[in-house]
Amino acid sequence: MRFFAAAALAAGLSFSTTAFAEEEAEAYTEINAETMVADFNGTWGEAKGVQGTVTQWETDLKAAREGFNEAVGIAKDAPIEKAIESLKEQAGEHLQVTLDGGKPNITVADAAPDNVKAAVEALKGCVASAEAVVAGGPEIVEQSKAVGEKAAAIPGQLNPSFFKDNGIKKPGDIKNATKEQKDNIAALADTDERIKGVIAEATAIVDSVKALAG
């Protein structure tokens, strides 16, 4: 298991958290790319880059989905399926979805009411955000896998001799340096789960819209 050793080290720790831009968003553990052990900071810089991409995806997707929900007049946190059903009811025959190379192409008739046109534009934005996540998913998964393999080797190096070689000698400093690595390892494992979650959500959005195609 890729993060078996990491999970063992991380057990029992409490972490400081950083929130998404939106108040309702779930808190996450921020990766520190400037730890006391400079030898590992290249790895953590890569990990922080992956985490930053995932956070941006989550933020953009959440904003687009909530914008669509608001445009059709339902709760911001309502499921995408409910929002699409509401749009279908409001738009009727004015809404058309076709598939172009497997991607949904959404159009609305000129005769449609302005609120329906606005909702369709919001849906297009939501789909665009979702498609960006789906398209970038394979690359970010590979990046996370590569940095995870590097991080998995870190726990085995955290011993007194290693810290001494890196100029970390005081017991308090060793304790803090060890905690930094443990926190980052746990945050990277959490980022892996977030990657799965945001890709799954984006895929569900695209699939829900594709289902409207005749």
- pLDDT tens-place string over residues 49-70: 999 999 999 999 999 999 999 9
Lowest mean pLDDT among 18-32, 43-57, 162-176, 197-211: 18-32
Written as six digits, the tokens of 186 are 């746990």
pLDDT in tens, 19-29: 333 433 458 89
3-state DSSP call for residue 14?
Answer: coil
- Using the structure block, give the residue that is written with the tokens 């329906």: 116
Q: How far is CA 161 from CA 170, 194, 196, in A?
A: 12, 35, 38
Helices (H), the chain: 4-10, 41-72, 80-91, 114-152, 160-165, 171-210
Lowest mean pLDDT among 1-5, 96-100, 168-172: 1-5
